[in-house]
Chains A and B, each alone.
Chain A
């Protein structure tokens, strides 16, 4: 071991001694109780859903009946009047090393949502607030200054991500249920172009983007995990909701054709996806070990598969394949088999 490595070992140990232990079990009891309650509720809901489904199926089988669909009454979007709790965000730049506190005050007035945004450099003189007006029921995006953009998504979203290439872009968002919106702040490390093109998984379980389009996608479910794979028709980038943990840009995502692309959706889950050739039908995935699989077709007809390994007791960081081989019937009616390349 050389001098530098010795210094790192001893210095890191000494530095770590500076850390205080402020998290105690008794302070987390409330969170644990909430987790327990959610777990119980999920079980209860699953039971109720199963019982309801069984009842509906049974009733439907016994008494076929026509379904009459009534269009939903057209809502006039508006906000409940009043102030909404101010939202605070923090962004810290690398060079120069500066911390910024961004506050957003929201005030609702019928169809208008007034935003007052302050980008305050920590330890600096107070910054002037900039005000903007967003409308109810419409997407709103604007630059606040060279590095900061604010967006309002008119939905209580489940997740938001940038899907077109935006290196150096950092998102933070808050779902504000009382106003029915998601407030998004984007910090970029340069002033090239903000705001970025966003996509989000909406309360309707569809993937929307900031142009107002609904992006084509397919939802695949294995066990308790549902993954929605979607594609941006403009750039061709594909991504998933839930969003991957370590993805820095959708543009670097591997080509899914002929491949097994490992997903990092959460610790302890091993999942892979891939896309079959055009026209492939009767797809069979032969997984490794006890992995489970399913397939589904995008609106363009292309079939995607999802494979899930057994839940791990530790975070999934392996890079071993979950698929042995895939076979399908091609457009000429022939059976074709291949081993997907791990990407």
Chain B
């Protein structure tokens, strides 16, 4: 009984700390608030199920990997990647969204699901190529080539950036 209470207390603290962080990443990975909520809930549930094996200092990393894996799994098995967020910014924040954010939202929409994951991990999570490869279960070479293709595609589609790059 005491053990269960201790687990609950520990995990409640973890949820309070991690849910904001996980929600931000999930939102970028899925592009939809409802899907992000589902993924975060499932991530926390799975993390709780494994809580006895997770060291406190690694808990957030563990949860982040579960989240990324769930995103891949959901895309593979259930439905193609959602895209609706780009043209429908969250109403309560729509006015506050900057041009940069809008442009980045459109950029993400142009990427394949894998490219989007890599871009989010590299440029939002600040992962190195090696960390990104480890998180996604792919080789560093694949990360490099996919990231390079993603950036090239974005430069191609977003003309001002292309001009800046070549000038």
- By a beta-carbon cutoff of 8 Å, the part of chain A in contact with chain B is 2-5, 7-26, 28-29, 31-32, 35-36, 90-94, 97, 99, 170-172, 187, 189, 245-248, 264, 267-268, 311, 313-315, 317-319
Contacts and interface: CB of A to CB of B under 8 A. Distances in A.
Given A10-B100, A246-B69, 20 more contacts: A2-B165, A5-B151, A12-B120, A12-B124, A15-B108, A19-B24, A19-B26, A19-B27, A20-B33, A23-B23, A24-B19, A26-B12, A32-B8, A92-B80, A189-B80, A268-B53, A314-B62, A315-B62, A315-B68, A317-B65
B8 A19 contact: no
A293 B111 CA distance: 41
B61 A314 contact: yes
A12 B41 contact: no
Contacts of B127: none
B50 A16 contact: no
Interface in B57-100: 58, 61-62, 65-66, 68-69, 72-73, 76-84, 89-90, 93, 97-98, 100
B137 A15 contact: no
B44 A23 contact: yes
Nearest to B52: A39
7 contacts: A14-B97, A25-B16, A26-B12, A94-B80, A97-B83, A99-B84, A268-B50
A311 to B, nearest CB: 6
A313 B26 contact: no
Interface string B106-135: 011000000000011001100000000011
A4 B151 contact: yes
A8 B23 contact: no
A170 B77 contact: yes
A23 B100 contact: no
B45 interface: yes
B24 A246 contact: no
Given A14-B101, A20-B33, A317 B139 contact: no
A90 B11 CA distance: 32
Contacts of B76: 170, 245-248
